[in-house]
A and B are shown apart, each in its own frame.
Chain A
Amino acid sequence: EVQLVQSKAEVKKPGDSLRISCKASGFSFNTYWIGWVRQMPGKGLEWMGIIYPGDSETRYSPSFQGQVAISADKSVTTAYLQWSTLKASDTAMYFCATSLGDYAGHSFHIWGRGTVLIVSS
């Protein structure tokens, strides 16, 4: 079964660092783009960036360039989203998604269930 399993909810303080994960299974992890989407409370979906695990090519949306780091570990078929210094404004739901087969290159039809991040002092 093709699936993306995301790490558990996190509660952090401003200034903390964090890495959340997205474990892929059921497909060739190396050969499809996988990406991260932010949804702030009551707001719309925002693409943060995508990574191609085969060669680690990463593309960031302009709003997120320099704010987060996206990476992938082929050995454990897992994608990561990392912050070095969290802010209260990072409080959001974070989804990972991938684009396979007929959908590759234009659509994302496999989604994780999301990781809730709360950043509060």
Chain B
Amino acid sequence: SYELTQPPSVSVSPGQTASITCSGDKLRGVFVSWYQQKPGLSPLLVLFQDRKRPSGIPERFSGSSSGDTATLTISGTQAMDEADYYCQAWDSSTAPVFGGGTKLTVL
């Protein structure tokens, strides 16, 4: 098993750019996915394979990965983006792993 580390919280002003990092020494060569979860709802996949957006996810969501760190970036952050965000990695021989989650506050 391995661990993924995220900052517990990130704050951003409306219209600005928010960045959430996810680090882990086993991220090299493993795709990272990002999920958004709002209170009372199931998680929603917002990025997969480090940087790809599922259908219906706004273009303001983007991702990157380098070495042992992946980053979710939200450009032009809107109030509706306020949520908890989780990174996830899954190598070929184990169960998937989530990061601890980051609470994004838009204020």
Contact = CB atoms under 8 A, between A and B. Distances in A.
A62 B84 CA distance: 24
Given A45-B43, A103-B45, A109-B48, A61 B97 contact: yes
A111 interface: yes
B67 to A, nearest CB: 18
Interface residues of A, number: 26
Contact of A106 (B31, B44, B99): B31
A20 to B, nearest CB: 15
Interface of A: 35, 37, 44-50, 59-62, 95, 97, 102-103, 105-109, 111-114
Interface of B: 1, 31, 33, 35, 37, 42-45, 48-49, 54, 84, 86, 88, 90, 92-101
